[in-house]
Amino acid sequence: MTPEKKIYREIAYPDVVWRVSEEPVPYPDAVAEMERIVADIRDGKAPETVWLLEHPPIYTAGTSAKADDLLNPDRFPVYQTGRGGQYTYHGPSQRVIYLMLDLSRRGRDVRRFVCQIEEWIIETLGQFGIEGHTREGRTGIWVARPEKGSRAEDKIAAIGIRVRRWVTFHGVSLNVAPDLSHYEGIVACGISDQGMTSLADLGKKYSVTDADRALAATFPNHFGPNCVRRNYC
């Protein structure tokens, strides 16, 4: 595994371990590590974990992926994955957030969990002056682009999770400053009539470390001990 820093714990919910990988993590290695952590959480051998990392350029196919949405299968490695959703891209300057949380302790409500993720990412984007939204019938977090037309919007964060025996894994990818042209090899998330964006594309010059700090600062509002008071969808 690549080197990691165990940081941010002092500003995140203290019962959840935060891991940050400093180098890109190969996708198969990340899946194997998630499998191990999920099993240990379920058996009471490990704490809940948030893992922040980047991958080398790859495409991943969720359980709803359609073969026709892989437009250029030779551009980057393609991995089938057990998470929900369709095709997406991962690569440098995109913060991948793997959430290994125990829903047995959090209400066993998968829909509420997804809503918590959405509200968390929206609040995090707000730290950078970006107004994110959810869209009916579309997963992930979207940003209105009125300069492209009255109904135009771009996706800035993708969500795809899996739950095994009430422990979650996989999670979120947040575009900080990836090469957006890399999305051209797929129909991202099965949606062909809208585009992709990032903090950098929106004129916000921040690093993945800046994103990490914002994610950690807002995390307790949605997954901490008092989050049950929030009005999730």
Positions marked active-site: 189
What is the DSSP secondary-structure string of the chain? ---EE---TTTS-TTSEEEEESSPPPHHHHHHHHHHHHHHHHTTSS--EEEEE--SSEEEE-TT--GGGBS-TTTS-EEE-SSSSSEEEE-TTEEEEEEE-BTTTTTS-HHHHHHHHHHHHHHHHHTTT---EEETTEEEEEEE-GGG-TT-EEEEEEEEEEEETTEEEEEEEEESS--GGGGGGB-GGG--SSEE--TTTTT----HHHHHHHHHHHTHHHHSTTGGGS---
